[in-house]
Structure 1
Amino acid sequence: MSTTTPTARPAATTPPRATFFHPTVARLTYRALLGRRRALILFALPALLVIIAAAVRALSGADDATASGILGGFALATMVPLIGVIAGTGAIGPEIDDGSVVYLLSKPVSRQTIIFTKLLVAIGVTVVFSAVPVLIAGFVLNGNSQQIAVAYAVAAAVASLAYSALFLFFGTISRHAVVFGLVYALVWESFVGSLVPGARTLSIQQWALAVGQRVGAEGALSSSVQLPLAIGLLVAVTVVATWYAGHRLKSLTLAGEE
């Protein structure tokens, strides 16, 4: 009676699954953002905001106009976009610059999944280091009078989404993503936007203020953009920037790929 030896079949290759979140990618991104020198800035800016708020409250007491000036002029106009630049570009830019992204791309993970995961981490980091300190500083400044603290915190959280997506996109297209981010955040929004009224329509800060305006008491916040337009532009920028970042990542090829 003859016996037949079974023939080993080659293992079937499983294509990468298209999901929206990958824990390993998230953990690596989180460690990269908080394990380098950029973490010092992430912690320093919120700490500076709270210190300023405490000093102003101790020297001049609770005042709604002062609270709005600090939360709008420093926190939302400067601190939030800077943190967005650090988190958004830092989520992927350094990996592309030093070439270590090839190790990530060689894994059986969809490149769109990589972008979504990095975006979620960047948004989470930006919200934690911007919206939460803004809320704390607002309560310190005026005890949330006229819902100013909550309104500016909501505006900071909303801005975090768009900033993270936009600056993550910058990180996929240029080695100078930080420069581009700073030019947009500090030159376009803060300088050009203050001189050219029409430029405010293309300002994430103004879009976020329009959302926060609905939360605060009447007259507590003001925006140059109407709420429906602001929401449409926020969604459009976030979706388009995320999609194009994924497209750019797909265009990166590894050795041996066709």
Structure 2
Amino acid sequence: MYNQTVARLTYRALLGRRRALILCALPALLLIVAGAVRGLVGADDAVTSQLLGGFAMATMVPLIGVIAGTGAIGPEIDDGSVVYLLAKPLKRSSIIVTKLVVAIGVTIAFSAVPTLVAGFILNGNSQQIAVAYAVAAAIASLAYSALFLLLGTVSRHAVVIGLVYALIWEALFGSLVPGARALSVQQWALALAEKVGGSGAEITSEVGLPVALVLLAVVTIGGTWFAGQKLRSLKLAAEE
């Protein structure tokens, strides 16, 4: 299912100069803020949880998911070069799965890893807060990558729609509006962080862990399946 050639081309597209700079910007800002906060207030579990939850999980992870998920296939569809890829003797499911794996890897590298490092800078992983949020970021990366990969196959405005979703739904409604939290990937991932961190970590989620895991699986698997179906329809259109 995983194709090395497709993966290499996708990594090259995602990690080009402009996208690489964008991908590095938010993690760099998180680490700078974490260092400044540690220098100003010292190791504080509550502050650590607020920064990692409010900035890393609510803003950084979904935004990087948008860049990696849509960028894995969206530009190829927009410029028509996807037709050349579809002309190769490759299964459409293999193309989608490969691009999803690449998008997940990039999202984890630029979100979960910096979240872990920032957590250690802030409080040295006291109460397992750094590990808890890093695990949540990694799990959220799966769902975001599948969701935005699907978006990249169905709309030419995937980046704009993804940014609206990340900045308005996840960062605003998903963090502040009680009713909307249950439908937020962020909250689903935080359910796992709450379990890893325990009661002392001051991490809370609006969704129970069993329900959160089911919803994360549905979004990840369902998004991947629908993206594969859309890619098949693109092949038929190209042949017509």
TM-score (norm 2): 0.96
The aligned residue for residue 208 of structure 2 is 226
Q: 2:196 aligns with which of 215, 218, 225?
A: 215
The aligned residue for residue 217 of structure 2 is 235
Distance in 2 between residues matched to 1:44 and 1:108, nearest whole Å: 38
Distance in 1 between residues matched to 2:15 and 2:77, nearest whole Å: 18
1:176 aligns with 2:157: yes
Tell me the alpha carbon deviations over residues 59-80 of structure 1, each in whole angstroms, 9 at most, x when there is no partner: 1111001101110000111000
1:24 aligns with 2:5: yes
Q: 2:50 aligns with which of 63, 69, 76?
A: 69
Distance in 1 between residues matched to 2:113 and 2:80, nearest whole Å: 34
Distance in 1 between residues matched to 2:11 and 2:194, nearest whole Å: 32
Counterpart contact for 1:165–1:241, Cα < 8 Å = yes
Q: 1:166 aligns with which of 131, 147, 152?
A: 147
Distance in 1 between residues matched to 2:164 and 2:137, nearest whole Å: 19
Q: 1:88 aligns with which of 66, 69, 72?
A: 69
Tell me the alpha carbon deviations over residues 11-33 of structure 1, each in whole angstroms, 9 at most, x when there is no partner: xxxxxxxxx20000000000000
Counterpart contact for 1:210–1:222, Cα < 8 Å = yes
- The 5 Å alignment of 1:6-17 reads none
Q: 1:128 aligns with which of 92, 99, 109?
A: 109
What amino acid is aligned across from residue 125 of structure 1 in structure 2? Answer: V
Counterpart contact for 1:25–1:114, Cα < 8 Å = yes
Tell me the alpha carbon deviations over residues 100-134 of structure 1, each in whole angstroms, 9 at most, x when there is no partner: 11111110001110000000000000001100000
Distance in 1 between residues matched to 2:174 and 2:42, nearest whole Å: 31
Distance in 2 between residues matched to 1:130 and 1:98, nearest whole Å: 28
**Contiguous gaps of at least 5 residues in structure 1:** 1-19
The aligned residue for residue 156 of structure 1 is 137
The aligned residue for residue 182 of structure 2 is 201
Deviation of the 1:256 alpha carbon = 7.4
Q: Which is worse superposed, 132-141 or 192-201? A: 192-201
The aligned residue for residue 11 of structure 1 is none
The aligned residue for residue 227 of structure 2 is 245
Distance in 2 between residues matched to 1:170 and 1:204, nearest whole Å: 15
Deviation of the 1:81 alpha carbon = 0.5
* SS of alignment partner, residue 146 of structure 1: helix
Deviation of the 1:36 alpha carbon = 3.9
TM-score (norm 1): 0.90
What amino acid is aligned across from residue 168 of structure 1 in structure 2? Answer: L
Distance in 1 between residues matched to 2:175 and 2:99, nearest whole Å: 32
Distance in 2 between residues matched to 1:214 and 1:252, nearest whole Å: 42
What amino acid is aligned across from residue 132 of structure 1 in structure 2? Answer: V
**Structure holding more helix per residue:** 2
What amino acid is aligned across from residue 242 of structure 1 in structure 2? Answer: T
Distance in 1 between residues matched to 2:25 and 2:178, nearest whole Å: 32
Counterpart contact for 1:33–1:91, Cα < 8 Å = yes
Distance in 2 between residues matched to 1:80 and 1:256, nearest whole Å: 35
Distance in 1 between residues matched to 2:217 and 2:38, nearest whole Å: 36
Distance in 1 between residues matched to 2:207 and 2:38, nearest whole Å: 31
Counterpart contact for 1:83–1:129, Cα < 8 Å = yes
* SS of alignment partner, residue 196 of structure 2: coil
Counterpart contact for 1:106–1:254, Cα < 8 Å = no
- How many residues end up aligned between the 2 structures? 239
RMSD across aligned positions (CA)? 1.3
The aligned residue for residue 120 of structure 2 is 139
Counterpart contact for 1:50–1:133, Cα < 8 Å = yes
Structure 1 stretches of 4+ moved >4 Å: none
Distance in 2 between residues matched to 1:75 and 1:212, nearest whole Å: 13
Distance in 2 between residues matched to 1:153 and 1:181, nearest whole Å: 22
Distance in 2 between residues matched to 1:229 and 1:81, nearest whole Å: 20
Residue 238 and residue 255 in structure 1: after superposition, are their counterparts in 2 closer, same or farther (change >3 A)?
A: closer
1:119 aligns with 2:100: yes
What amino acid is aligned across from residue 132 of structure 2 in structure 1? Answer: A
